[in-house]
Amino acid sequence: MGTKRARQKQEGLFYARERAEAPGHPFYERLNAVLTEAGFDAFCEERCSAFYHRKLGRPSLAPGVYFRLLLIGFFEGIGSERGIAWRVADSFSLRRFLSYGFEEATPDHVTISRTRRLLDEAVHQTVFTFVLTEVARHGLLKGKTIGIDATTLEANAAMRSIVRRDTGESYMEYLRRLAAEAGIDGADDDVVRRMDRKRKKKMPNDEWVNPHDPEAEVTKMKDGTTHLAYKAEQAVDLDTGAIVAITTHGGATGDSESVRETLPAAGFAVAEQIDTPTAQGPHQVHAQGLSEVVTDKGYHSGPGLAEMSESVRTYVSVPQQPRRNWKGKAEQQAAVYANRRRVEGERGKSLSRRRGELLERPFAHQYDTGALRRLHVRGRGNVAKRVLLQAAAFNLALILRSITKAGTPKGLADLKRELIRVLWPILASLAPLCEPITRSPQDSPSSSCRPRSCGRINQNSVTAENRGSNTGC
């Protein structure tokens, strides 16, 4: 099994000044310190030991290195494993972060992807839980009020490759058959495409599938386009912004259906952290665990509210609906009306504003700047692994932000530039204090080049060969 201890090597027998070295990036140096203090490598090696053999097989990738590589994808804004491998091979600071020397070959994308396929989803979930525990130890998790929202991720599969589940024919073959049934020449592809543009399209997922990624579903994205996609739904602590739980579904899964998996996962995750000691930070985990859940109007449904109200208080935005008939649905009616009263109250309005800030921001960091909006892996299990590590990296960014005031390497660089921009006017205002005094007729010749803040020069202490003229500077 590849471990961190096995990769430690003795230094070469030559002078250090003869060896080319590059200083580590300050952000990654601090991130490595946080991970080392938490025992990240030992934890990963213990959890992954069942997937490694001590002697057989090709040389393996240490578990700590593998998970760090996926963290780099978030911090550097790289979505593909091939891009991560290229970036690591090209950067001295990232080599130092992974403990690779200049003469060592860094992992290629084949090794990264094979390691991901061999390690199951449960291992990635334990790493996410490990990072969440560190978030709780730093006082960045409260867990009383949770916001739930979802977003769609474009799958690594094309719509043009879909086939019918019943006959196995492609989309163009299906169109040619429709054209022949309508009396249109199906041999002319241009005529067939014009016919397709005019007809009303319905492509239900129970009839169409992509053979390369069967678990991806035909989904209408937020920009109005239609793609094969997955859905990532996550629960966020509305007091701190930490991601508590995240689940992955097919792109066409409804919100009221997916929340049945995400809400219990968030409740269990918060309950596991109640006894976590908090060394520092403004928050401690709520002793009663998850108590309130806040969502948008996509989650509003009578059966869903009745089910959620059994364990938590709901603050689900109310959509415009016609008057409903509640006959035989007294439990749902009570849940819907109680939720409406809470949403229209002052606390409900406050939580709604907080939801708009703290639920959308993680999506932007993880999938837009984190470059995972378009997936480069296939299968729900592989998508879940990438999404879990992306969420773990976001939580690590919260810890780094509490320490260094920056959650990414680019954010740290921007912070330094902002600091220089603020300090530059102050330094410019202090510059005249060191300018020479303007010479006047009453002043001696030697006093014209004496700075204001400088003391007198002892002429006797200057050697003869270094003593200059009395009339110049």
- pLDDT by position in tens, the chain (length 473): 666 665 555 555 555 555 556 667 889 999 999 999 999 999 999 999 999 887 777 778 899 999 999 999 999 999 999 999 999 999 999 999 999 888 888 999 999 999 999 999 999 999 999 999 999 999 999 999 999 999 999 999 999 899 999 889 998 888 888 888 888 887 888 888 888 888 877 788 999 999 999 999 999 988 888 999 999 999 999 999 999 999 999 999 999 999 999 999 999 999 999 988 887 667 889 989 999 999 999 999 999 999 999 999 999 999 988 888 889 999 999 999 999 999 999 999 999 999 888 998 999 999 999 999 999 999 999 999 999 999 999 999 999 998 888 888 888 877 778 778 888 888 778 777 776 655 555 555 544 444 444 444 444 444 444 444 443 33
265 alpha carbon, distance to own chain's centre: 19
Percent of the chain with pLDDT over 70: 86
| Sequence-distant (≥ 6) Cβ neighbours of residue 293 within 8 angstroms | 145, 146, 147, 148, 263, 308, 312, 313, 314, 315, 316
- The helices-and-strands tally (H runs, E runs) of the chain is 16, 8
What is the pLDDT, as a whole number, of residue 458?
47
Q: How many CA atoms lie within 13 A of 403 on its CB side?
A: 19
Q: Which CATH architecture fits 141-159+216-320+329-413? A: 2-Layer Sandwich (3.30)
Q: What are phi and psi of 413, to 5 degrees?
A: -65, -40
Element holding 467 (H helix, E strand): none
pLDDT at 472: 39
Distance CA 462, CA 355 (A): 72
List pLDDT tens digits, range 130-161: 999 999 999 999 999 999 999 999 999 999 89
The residues facing 316 across adjacent strands are 295
- DSSP H or E segment with residue 279: none
Partners of 64 in beta bridges: none
pLDDT in tens, 5-44: 655 555 555 555 555 566 678 899 999 999 999 999 999 9
Q: Give every CB contact of residue 285 below 8 A, 6+ residues apart in sequence.
A: 136, 141, 142, 143, 270, 273, 274, 276, 278
CA distance 40 to 48: 12
Q: Which amino acid appears at position 295 of this protein?
A: T
Alpha carbons 218 and 251: distance in angstroms, whole number: 7
Alpha-carbon gap, residue 69 to 459, rounded angstroms = 64
Cα dist from 14 to 10, 17, 18, 31, 47, whole Å: 12, 9, 7, 30, 38
What pLDDT score does 464 carry?
43
The structure tokens listed for 442 are: 């009453």
Q: Give the rounded distance of the alpha carbon of 194 from its chain centre.
A: 42
pLDDT tens digits for range 29-84: 999 999 999 999 999 999 999 998 877 777 788 999 999 999 999 999 999 999 99
The owner of tokens 């229209």 is: 344
Helix orientation angle between 330-344 and 346-358, rounded to the nearest 10 degrees? 80
Nearest to 255 by CA among 292, 298, 192, 196: 298
Alpha-carbon gap, residue 185 to 335, rounded angstroms: 57
d(CA 64, CA 107): 13
What is the structure's pLDDT at 5?
A: 60
Q: How far apart are CA 400 and CA 378, in angstroms?
A: 31
Alpha helices in 294-379 (DSSP H): 302-308, 330-344, 346-358, 360-363
Instruction: Say what the pTM is.
Output: 0.83
Q: What does the domain layout of the chain look like in residue ranges?
A: 16-119, 141-159+216-320+329-413, 163-202
Predicted local distance difference test score (pLDDT) of residue 379: 94
At residue 441, the pLDDT reads: 54
Length of the chain: 473
What residue type is 269 in one-letter code? A
Give dist(CA 106, CA 99) in Å, integer: 10
Q: Which residues pair with 245 in a beta bridge?
A: 235
